[in-house]
Amino acid sequence: MEAHGEGMPAAHAPGAHEHAGLDEELGFLRTYLFSTDHKTIGIQYMVTGLGFLFFGFMLMMLMRWQLAYPGEAIPLIGGLLGDSRAPGGVMLPEFYNQLGAMHGTIMVFLGVVPIGVGGFGNFVLPLQIGAADMAFPKINMASYQFFVVGGIIMLVSFFLPGGAAQSGWTSYSPLADISPGQTAWGIGMVFIITSSLLGALNFITTTIQLRAKGMSFWRFPFFVWAQFVTAFLLLLAFPPLEAAAVMQIMDRVAGTSFFLPAGLVISGQQLDYTGGGNPLLWQHLFWFLAHPEVYVLVLPAMGIVAEVIANNTRKPLWGYEAMVYSILFLGFMSFIVWAHHMFITGMGATMATFFQTTTMIISIPSVVILSALFLSLWGGSIRFTTPMLFALAFLPMFGIGGLTGLPLGLAPADIHLHDTYYVIAHFHYVVAPGTIFAFFAGLYYWYPKATGRLMNETLGKLHFWLSVIFMNGVFLPMFWIGLAGVSRRLYDGGASYAHAQDVLWMNVLSSWSAWLLGLAQLIFIYNFFVSLRRGQVAGRNPWAATTVEWQAPSPPPHGNFDRTPVIYRGPYDYSAPGHAEDFVPQTQEA
């Protein structure tokens, strides 16, 4: 932490009440609720996204009770859930299914993507390329509003007759065509997809058009590349799901049979519809979105980690160009691997071979990026700041998540592991201790830029260590539970199955870890709010970083920069010989 305060122009450190220099004549509503400023929108996305993330986590904490202690009344809050959900405090299977479906939907579409793209992307990307704002500020505002409306529809769906969607976040037909709650889910998705479309075209246009003078593509920080590729994935992969959502709504509302084959019988009753549809079509359209979506979840995280690692090792990223080519290749390949989610649909050996091959190929650029990040540590003078701790934890966590995915990408192994807890453990290692740790790294790293004050380091480190321990406590046991053959879709966590008896104790371990993990987040929430007023004043460049956002005042005023930035060098000019300090900002003349 010696670098604190070194080499930064301290004169512009803001006072506590000089809030963000937002245009005061705009009034409260236009400044905070209907702002067109990318920084305000970024913060709105971030705060809303964090709220949804915690709400989605609470749904899971409820489910974990049922998994650890099946059939027992939920203590404390069980009585509040109502007789239609948990009579006598004991969760009904229908409610368990709603919690599961909405946990996935909320975490992916309302939590992680809005934080990674809407929050970090909106706030940081224009600053890092030296732009005054996004290219289309009003479209940016509309994007946030569509997102909020979609989120509200999802939340309200819990209180509609029949409750929220209960067919999993994947909403497979024909189940999703006939179970309650799915229409609200579909309408909510259409809003969320519109939101991400508006955001994506804004990000791409901004990156191409609003670069500061001298900011060529090869001078982009890796974070900008990550957001740029992510935006293309959002732009091109989401529309097929929108089409699928429209058709699913048509199936439910207009009585069409896009996803319904002939002859469905429920409880001995022949369903009244014409049939002729194809349930696999839903899966193809869904996964055509949802595999690129996986990279939408993880690429911004990689971008954040790259920034934090370069800054805290005080040396340039190892293999920056290789990383950029890898992320471009990753973006392209992510469009042709989707059916590895569908090996057990009976797709046939030819198709399976194709998708296995592309899946093995796509692991190469991921490994290149991860290896480059690991190698970047070599020989660095590492500062173990809170953001760096989270970034360092991302590497092995994402590594575990990625490597355990390889057996799932090969059809023979997948046929055993499909739909077991192994799958849950695998993708949560990618997204939860992976992506979410990267988000924490980014939050601690850019918080001083957004607020003008640093977060408390001691509380930050406490938050980090507790999160690492409990996060692994939640997900590590699931590999064993899954290998033992326990299905991920069991309401009782396997208690009524003979083959699950030996691993049931791990459900309890996992549940207690989840609840303690939830408690540990309270430290973060406390730190987040208290540091707003009490945190150490940061100044422009508290981390002694090279990239352009640190040349703006903290927090940056409307329009971002007090002097128009001109870029003279690449993004990570750390520890270059012949300079007084160990970093050279991108804006410093050669």
Partner 1 sequence: MSEGLIPYITEPREDTGLTNGKIGIWLFLASEIMLFGAFFATYIVMRLGADHWPHGWEDQNVPMGTLNTGVLITSSVTMVMAWASLERDDLKKFQMFSAVTVALGFVFLVIKYFEYTHHFHEGMYPRTNTYLATYFTMTGLHGLHVIFGMAVNGFLGVTGAGYWKSGHHDDRQLLINRVENAGLFWHFVDIVWIFLFPVLYLL
Considering only the stretches 63-71, 230-238, 298-306, 483-491, report the one whose residues sit in contact with partner 1 under the rule CB under 8 A. 230-238
> Which H, E and C letters describe 153-190, residue by residue?
HHHHHHHCCCCCCCCCCCCCCCHHHHCCCHHHHHHHHH
- Which candidate, 47, 52, 28, 228, places its Cα nearest to that of 126? 228
If one asks whether residue 94 binds partner 1 (CB under 8 A), the answer comes out as: no
Query: 260 vs 430, which CB is nearer to partner 1?
Result: 260
How many chain residues touch partner 1 (CB under 8 A)? 46
User: CB 284 → partner 1: shortest distance, Å?
Assistant: 8
Query: 206 vs 510, which CB is nearer to partner 1?
Result: 206
- In the numeric block, the tokens 């409307």 are attached to 558
- Report which secondary-structure segment, H or E, holds 266: strand 265-266
Q: What's the CA gap between 584 and 579, in Å, rounded?
A: 8
If one asks whether residue 214 binds partner 1 (CB under 8 A), the answer comes out as: no
Query: 227 vs 521, which CB is nearer to partner 1?
Result: 227
User: CB 290 → partner 1: shortest distance, Å?
Assistant: 14
User: CB 133 → partner 1: shortest distance, Å?
Assistant: 5
Q: What's the CA gap between 172 and 150, in Å, rounded?
A: 20
If one asks whether residue 36 binds partner 1 (CB under 8 A), the answer comes out as: yes
User: CB 552 → partner 1: shortest distance, Å?
Assistant: 13
Residue 83 DSSP one-character state = T
Spell out the long-range contacts of 409-415 with Cβ–Cβ below 8 A and sequence spacing 24 or more.
Answer: 409/340, 409/356, 409/359, 409/360, 409/363, 410/356, 410/359, 410/360, 411/343, 411/352, 411/356, 414/340, 414/343, 414/344, 415/343, 415/344
User: CB 368 → partner 1: shortest distance, Å?
Assistant: 28
If one asks whether residue 208 binds partner 1 (CB under 8 A), the answer comes out as: yes
Of the candidates 133, 307, 549, 573, which one interacts with partner 1 according to CB under 8 A? Answer: 133
Q: Which class for 378: exposed (0-12), middle (13-18), buried (19 or more C-beta within 10 A)?
A: exposed
Show the binding pattern over residues 187-206: x = contacts partner 1 (CB under 8 A), - = does not.
----------x--xxx-xx-
Name residues contacting partner 1, limited to 306-365 (CB under 8 A). none
- Which candidate, 415, 432, 407, places its Cα nearest to that of 485? 415
Query: 171 vs 527, which CB is nearer to partner 1?
Result: 171
Q: What's the CA gap between 396 and 125, in Å, rounded?
A: 26
If one asks whether residue 209 binds partner 1 (CB under 8 A), the answer comes out as: yes
Alpha helices in 26-121 (DSSP H): 27-28, 38-68, 93-105, 113
If one asks whether residue 255 binds partner 1 (CB under 8 A), the answer comes out as: yes
Considering only the stretches 144-152, 178-186, 271-279, 504-512, report the one whose residues sit in contact with partner 1 under the rule CB under 8 A. 271-279
If one asks whether residue 564 binds partner 1 (CB under 8 A), the answer comes out as: no
User: CB 562 → partner 1: shortest distance, Å?
Assistant: 13
User: CB 486 → partner 1: shortest distance, Å?
Assistant: 34
If one asks whether residue 41 binds partner 1 (CB under 8 A), the answer comes out as: no
CA-angle at 532, arms to 531 and 534, nearest 5°:
50
If one asks whether residue 273 binds partner 1 (CB under 8 A), the answer comes out as: yes
User: CB 366 → partner 1: shortest distance, Å?
Assistant: 24
Q: What's the CA gap between 67 and 90, in Å, rounded?
A: 12
If one asks whether residue 274 binds partner 1 (CB under 8 A), the answer comes out as: yes
If one asks whether residue 136 binds partner 1 (CB under 8 A), the answer comes out as: yes
Of the candidates 81, 190, 250, 328, which one interacts with partner 1 according to CB under 8 A? Answer: 250
Are 154 and 123 in contact, with CB atoms under 8 Å apart?
A: no
Query: 256 vs 312, which CB is nearer to partner 1?
Result: 256
Query: 213 vs 579, which CB is nearer to partner 1?
Result: 213
User: CB 528 → partner 1: shortest distance, Å?
Assistant: 28
CA-based torsion, 91, 482, 291, 331: positive or negative: positive
User: CB 232 → partner 1: shortest distance, Å?
Assistant: 9
Q: What's the CA gap between 493 and 82, in Å, rounded?
A: 23
Are 474 and 515 in contact, with CB atoms under 8 Å apart?
A: no
User: CB 256 → partner 1: shortest distance, Å?
Assistant: 4
Of the candidates 115, 224, 226, 237, which one interacts with partner 1 according to CB under 8 A? Answer: 237
- Within a 13 Å sphere around the CA of 47, how many CA atoms are in the beta-carbon half? 11
Of the candidates 61, 210, 264, 532, which one interacts with partner 1 according to CB under 8 A? Answer: 210
Considering only the stretches 79-87, 235-243, 486-494, 539-547, report the one whose residues sit in contact with partner 1 under the rule CB under 8 A. 235-243
Q: Which class for 367: exposed (0-12), middle (13-18), buried (19 or more C-beta within 10 A)?
A: middle
Neighbouring residues of 573: CB distance < 8 A, sequence distance ≥ 6: 316, 546, 583, 584, 585, 586
Q: What's the CA gap between 132 and 146, in Å, rounded?
A: 24
Q: What's the CA gap between 476 and 499, in Å, rounded?
A: 19
Name residues contacting partner 1, limited to 405-434 (CB under 8 A). none
If one asks whether residue 37 binds partner 1 (CB under 8 A), the answer comes out as: yes
If one asks whether residue 27 binds partner 1 (CB under 8 A), the answer comes out as: no
Residues that bind partner 1 (CB under 8 A): 23, 36-37, 132-133, 135-139, 197, 200-202, 204-205, 208-210, 235-240, 242-244, 246-247, 250, 254-258, 273-274, 276-278, 281, 285, 288, 558-559
